[in-house]
Amino acid sequence: MTETSLPAPRITDRLRAHVGELLRLAAPVIVSRAGLIVMMAVDTAIVGRYSAQELAYYGLAHLPSNLMITTGVGLLMGVVATTAHALGAGDEKECGRVWRRSIPYALLLSVLFALGSLAGGPFFRLTGQSPDLVEGGAAVLAVLGLGAPGMMLYVATGFFLEGLKRPVPGMVVMIVGNLVNALLAWALVWGHLGFPAMGAVGSAWATTAVRWVMGLGLALYAWRMSDHERWGVRAPVGAWWRDSHRQRHLGYAAGLSLAVESGAFATLGLFAGMISPLALGAYTVGLNLTALPFMAAVGLGSATAVRVGVAYGRRDRLDMALAGWTGLGVTSLILAVVGVLYVSVPEPLAAIYSADPALVERVAPLIAFTAWVLVADGGQTVMANALRGRGDAWVPTALHFVSYAVVMIPVSALLAFGWERGERGLFEGILIASVVSVSILSLRFALLSRR
C-alpha cells in the first residue's frame, strides 16, 4: 500500500467509528428525550379524548410551561459540554464538580419558573385569549409550575451522565416515569381508581408528581454510583456560582437560543388560540407529533455535541468535523423515514388524539405536512449542538434568533392571518424558518471546520 493511499482508509475507519459511537450514545438519549414528548403525547391523547375544550386548556398552558422548561434545558446544556471537555482532557475529578455546581443553579432556575407559572391568567389575557381559555389554561399552568424543580434536577443530572457517556440511567428513569405518568393521567383526567375526574388539571398533577420522582431518583443514582470517587461526585466545590462561570456561559447562549425557538413556537400557539379553540387543539396535536420524532434529533444532537466536544478536548480537527457531519447525515436519514410514515397515514395518527371528527379533519393535513418540516428542523438542532460542542456559543444563538424570531413569527402571522391559511399557515412558517436555520448553521460549521 502506498503512502498516498493511507488517508482514505483512516477517514473511512473514523467515519465508521463515529456512526457506531453516535448511535450507541444517542439511542438511550433519544429514549430519554423522546420520553418527555411521549409523556406529553399520552397526556394529549388522554385529555383530547376526554374533551376537545380541555385539550385547548392543556395546549394553552403548555405554551409558556414548555418555554420555561426548554429555556432551563438550554441554560443547563453547559453541563454536558464541560463534562465532555473535562473527560476528553483526562480531568476526571472535574466532571463531578461540574455536576455539583449545576444542582443549585438548576434549583434556582426552577424556583423562578414556578413563580412565573403563577402569572398565567394575566399573561393569557394580555395575549387576547378568550375568558374561558384564560381561566382553564391558568389553572393547568399553575400546577405544572410545581413540577419544575424535579424536572430541572433530572435535566442537570442527565446531562452530567451523558457527558460521561453514561446515558442509560436517564433512559431507564424516563421509561419508568412514562409508565407511571400514563397510569396517573388516566386516573386523574377521567376519574378512575377513586379519583375525581379533573380533566386537563389532572394531567398536570400527574406530570408534576412524576417529574419530582424522576429528578430525585436520577440524582440519587449519580450520588451513589459505584465509581463516584473517580469522578469526584461528592467532592466539595467551593464557590459554585463563581466556579461555574464557564459552564453557565455556554448555557446562557444555549438557553437564549432555545428560549427564542421555543418562544417562537409558543407565539404560534397563541396565534392558533386567536383563530379558534379548535385551531389551538389542532396546533397542539400537530406540534406534538412534530416534536415526538424531533426528540430523535435532540438525542442525536446531544450525542453529536459529546463527540465533537471530546474531539475538541483532544484538539483533533478532523474528528470534530466528522462527528458533526455524521450527526447531520444520520439524523436526516432517520427523520426522512418518519416523514414517509406521516405522509402515508395521517388520518389514523390524528384519530389517536381525538374522537372529535371536526378536530381530526383539521389535524390530518397538518400531520402530512410535518413530513417536510422534520428533516430541516432536526438538522438545525444537530448542527447547533455540533457548534456548541466545539465551543461556539453565541453565534448559533444569533442565527437562531434570525431564523425563528425574525423569519418564523412574521412569516407565520402573514400566512395565517394575512393570507387566511389558518393553522396550516403556521406550519408553513415553521418549515421556512427551519430551512433557513439548518442552512446557515451548516455553513457556520463548515467554515469553522476549516480552521
How many CA within 13 A on the CB side of residue 298? 21
Domain range list for the chain: 9-449
CA 22-27-29 angle, to 5 degrees, is: 95
**CA distance linking residue 433 with residue 376, whole number of Å:** 9
Closest C-alpha among 65, 70, 77, 71 to residue 102: 77
CA 381 remoteness from chain centre = 10
CB 333 within 8 A of CB 26: no
**CA distance linking residue 76 with residue 82, whole number of Å:** 11
Helix (H) or strand (E) holding 72: helix 52-75
pLDDT at 14: 65
**CA distance linking residue 289 with residue 261, whole number of Å:** 17
Per residue of the chain (451 residues), what is the pLDDT tens digit?
444 443 444 667 666 766 766 667 667 767 777 777 788 888 988 998 898 889 889 989 998 998 899 899 889 988 988 888 888 777 888 888 889 999 999 999 999 999 999 999 999 999 888 899 999 999 999 999 999 999 999 999 999 998 888 888 998 999 999 999 999 999 999 999 999 999 999 999 999 999 999 999 999 999 999 888 888 888 877 788 887 888 888 788 778 877 887 888 889 988 998 888 888 888 888 888 888 788 788 778 877 887 787 777 677 777 788 888 888 988 899 899 999 999 898 888 888 887 788 888 888 888 889 888 899 999 998 998 888 777 776 788 788 788 888 999 999 999 999 998 888 999 999 999 999 999 999 999 888 877 6
User: What's the pTM?
Assistant: 0.74
Cα dist. 393→236, 400, 430 in Å?
28, 12, 24
Residue type for position 161: L
CB 82 within 8 A of CB 247: yes
pLDDT at 10: 64
**CA distance linking residue 197 with residue 363, whole number of Å:** 26
**CA distance linking residue 244 with residue 167, whole number of Å:** 23
- Of the chain, the end-to-end C-alpha distance in Å amounts to 30
Q: Which position has the grid cell 456560582?
A: 241
pLDDT at 192: 94
Closest C-alpha among 148, 112, 138 to residue 200: 138
Cα dist. 349→170, 171, 290, 335, 352 in Å?
28, 25, 12, 17, 5
Cell of 198: 379533573
